[in-house]
C-alpha cells in the first residue's frame, strides 16, 4: 500500500539549537535542574535536518539568538499559508523576543508579517488540514487568536479545546498526514475535551488514533510529507498503525528536546 502514498516536497524553516537549554519551566516537561546534553541535542537536530534533505525537502535556517533557548522550536514562530505569514505573540514573557527574530527572517525573505493582537503560538496550535485550519486552545493560543487567523487567511478555523497540560500545544496531540481537501490526521483523543473529540471524530472518521503511551513519547509531534512520517522512535505502536495505512515511518530521535516539551514538529516550521 505504501507505493500508493505520494510524498510532496516541502520547505521547512528551522533554528540550530546553539543556545538550547532548560533554564525556566513553562510546561510540565521542563525542569531546570535536569541538565541538557547540548552536544547530543545538536547531533539529534542535525539528524533531523539530514533526514529532511535526504527525502528531498528544502531546509532554511534562521540565526539563533543568545538568551532565547526555546528559539529552536521554530514551529511556534508563525503560520504560513499561501505565502502569507501570521506571526506569533507568546504566552510566556521569556519567549516573546523570539517573535521579532523570526519576523526579521521572514521580512528579509520578502514576506509581510501580520502580528497577532492576542496570544498565538504559530503552528504549535495552528494546524492546516485541507479545507480548514485546526486550532488548539486551553493553555497557550486564545480563541480570540483563532478569530484573527480566520479573518486574516479567510480559511475556516476549527477550535479544539485541549485539557491535558502535558499536551499544551495542539501539535503535541495531533498532526496532519496528507495535504489537500481529503487530508487525514493522527491524534490522541485523551488530549481533548469531549466536544472536541466529537468534532474530530465527525471530521476525520478514518483518523489514525494514537495510544497514550505513544502520545507521551512525542509520537504525535511528527511531520508528514504525505508518505514519509518523521516520527519519534519510541512511538512504536503508532508507527505500526501508520505503516498499515501505507505510510513510511522515518524514526528520528529528538529525546533531548523532550526535556523542554518539544520534538520533531516543534523544531519545524513549514513555509507554504
Q: In what order do the strands lie in the sheet with 157-161?
A: 126-129, 132-137, 157-161
For 147, other C-beta atoms within 10 Å of its C-beta total 14
Strand partners, 160: 136
CA dist 198 → 79, 150, 161, 192, 195 (Å): 25, 22, 11, 9, 5
Q: Which residues are catalytic?
A: 169, 266
3-state secondary structure of 75: helix
Alpha carbons 194 and 149: distance in angstroms, whole number: 24
For 41, other C-beta atoms within 10 Å of its C-beta total 21
Alpha carbons 226 and 221: distance in angstroms, whole number: 15
Amino acid at each position: 500500500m505504501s507505493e500508493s502514498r505520494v510524498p510532496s516536497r516541502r520547505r521547512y524553516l528551522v533554528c540550530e539549537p546553539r543556545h538550547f537549554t532548560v533554564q525556566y519551566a513553562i510546561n510540565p516537561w521542563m525542569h531546570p535542574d535536569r541538565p541538557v546534553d547540548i552536544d547530543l541535542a545538536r547531533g539529534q537536530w542535525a539528524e533531523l535536518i539530514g533526514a529532511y534533505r535526504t527525502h528531498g525537502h528544502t531546509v532554511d535556517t534562521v540565526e539563533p539568538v543568545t538568551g532565547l533557548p526555546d528559539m529552536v522550536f521554530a514551529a511556534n514562530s508563525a503560520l504560513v499559508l499561501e505565502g502569507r505569514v501570521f506571526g506569533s505573540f507568546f504566552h510566556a514573557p521569556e519567549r516573546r523576543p523570539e517573535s521579532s527574530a523570526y519576523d526579521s527572517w521572514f521580512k528579509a525573505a520578502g514576506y509581510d508579517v501580520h502580528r497577532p493582537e492576542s496570544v498565538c503560538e504559530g503552528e504549535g496550535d495552528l494546524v492546516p488540514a485541507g479545507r480548514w485550519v485546526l486550532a488548539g486552545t486551553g493553555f497557550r493560543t486564545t480563541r480570540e487568536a483563532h478569530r484573527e487567523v480566520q479573518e486574516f487567511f479567510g480559511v475556516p478555523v476549527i477550535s479544539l479545546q485541549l485539557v491535558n497540560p502535558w499536551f499544551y500545544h495542539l501539535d503535541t496531540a495531533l498532526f496532519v498526514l496528507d495535504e489537500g481537501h481529503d487530508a487525514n490526521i493522527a491524534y490522541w483523543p485523551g488530549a481533548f475535551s469531549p466536544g472536541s473529540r466529537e468534532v474530530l471524530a465527525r471530521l476525520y472518521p478514518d483518523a489514525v488514533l494514537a495510544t497514550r503511551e505513544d502520545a507521551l513519547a512525542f509520537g504525535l509531534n511528527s511531520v508528514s510529507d504525505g508518505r514519509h512520517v518523521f516520527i519519534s522512535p519510541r512511538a512504536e505502536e503508532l508507527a505500526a498503525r501508520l505503516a498499515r495505512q501505507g505510510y513510511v515511518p522515518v524514526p528520528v530521535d529528538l529525546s533531548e528536546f523532550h526535556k523542554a516539551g518539544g520534538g520533531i514538529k516543534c523544531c519545524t516550521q513549514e513555509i507554504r
